[in-house]
Structure 1
Amino acid sequence: MPQNPGSEDPNHQSPGEPIVGVIMGSQSDWETMRHASEILEQFGVPHERRVVSAHRTPEWMCEYAKTAEQRGLRVIIAGAGGAAHLPGMVASQTELPVLGVPVQSRALQGLDSLLSIVQMPGGIPVATLAIGEAGAKNAGLLAVRILAVEDATLREKLRQHRAAQSQAVMEGSVL
């Protein structure tokens, strides 16, 4: 798999063996999905970023999903726009948790993406987040929470993050 350094490259891998995969259907989805990557970096979670198209590279998508666990991944965050089949198709090929991020589209403001991801048949779960940037950020945080179940250091970082958020609100509460 390609490993190109640089925070602006969606095909980057952070330092350390990746335990989260951040994948997206096309290069243009990076503008949204970078927010998930930034959260993972903030918490020090090693992750890889890849463009994996369900429609243009279906064999690569299946290989990515089927080998994810043996490569050490524990969670996959998958973002896609339009028909947005990537999260569901990846979920059908792995037992790992898959977090789906609907990328906002021009035609329907991401509703098409949301409905494509959230309407999965029983037995193939995808944890679906909000459309766009907020969904990508929350996908990063949800991945951290999943990992924190077995990682006390990450749990403490989450507590500190929540406390900092609360403090920021309190400091700005007087208008």
Structure 2
Amino acid sequence: MNYKVAILMGSPNDADKMAPAATTLERYNIEADVRVMSAHRSPALVSDFTQTARQNGYSAIICGAGMAAHLAGAVAAHTTLPVIGVPLSGGAINGWDSLLATVQMPKGIPVATVAV
């Protein structure tokens, strides 16, 4: 079985921090599709991509975002695929804001969260 995982990030500035995710997936022969889309700046794009992700062959979605870090929650609200949130460091409190925003999802919006 072939697997394809989307790696989403809120800004092109996050590319260096999210690059190891693609490298790791490719090491295991899992296709990594890296895209930039913001839950705040392009919410319709996030919604459209997420709602069709399963039909387009994705097995999971990894979301990297800093500060308010709404991306993983926005994605999880529109799919039943596994969503992994990657809180990114930066901002005034060095990633604590993104960690808390990613880990504290409401009931019914499951996001697996990794460390900053």
Q: TM-score range by the shorter chain?
A: over 0.9
TM-score normalised by the chain length of structure 1? 0.64
Please say which structure displays the higher CA radius of gyration: 1
Q: Report the identity percentage.
A: 49
Is 1:125 matched up with 2:102?
no
Structure 1 runs (4+) greater than 6 angstroms displaced: none
| SS of 1:108 mapped into structure 2 | coil
Is 1:90 matched up with 2:75?
yes
Kindly indicate which of the two structures has a greater share of residues assigned to strand.
2
Give the whole-Å Cα distance in 2 for the aligned partners of 1:58 and 1:99. 18
| SS of 2:26 mapped into structure 1 | helix
| SS of 1:50 mapped into structure 2 | strand
Write out per-residue CA displacement over residues 43-92 of structure 1, whole angstroms, 9 at most, x where no aligned residue. Answer: 11112000010000000000010010000001000000010000001000
Kindly indicate which of the two structures has a greater share of residues assigned to helix.
1
| SS of 1:21 mapped into structure 2 | strand
The offset of 1:18, in angstroms, is 6.2
| SS of 1:61 mapped into structure 2 | helix
Is residue 18–residue 48 contact of structure 1 (8 Å, CA) maintained in 2?
no
CA RMSD of aligned residues (A): 1.1
The offset of 1:106, in angstroms, is 3.1
Is 1:74 matched up with 2:75?
no
Is residue 83–residue 112 contact of structure 1 (8 Å, CA) maintained in 2?
yes
TM-score normalised by the chain length of structure 2? 0.95
Is residue 18–residue 46 contact of structure 1 (8 Å, CA) maintained in 2?
yes
Is 1:64 matched up with 2:49?
yes
Which of residues 20, 32, 38 is equivalent to 2:5? 20
Write out per-residue CA displacement over residues 128-151 of structure 1, whole angstroms, 9 at most, x where no aligned residue. Answer: 0010xxxxxxxxxxxxxxxxxxxx
Which of residues 44, 55, 58 is equivalent to 2:29? 44
> Structure 2: any 5+ residue segments left out of the alignment?
none
Which of residues 101, 111, 114 is equivalent to 2:99? 114
> Structure 1: any 5+ residue segments left out of the alignment?
1-16, 132-175
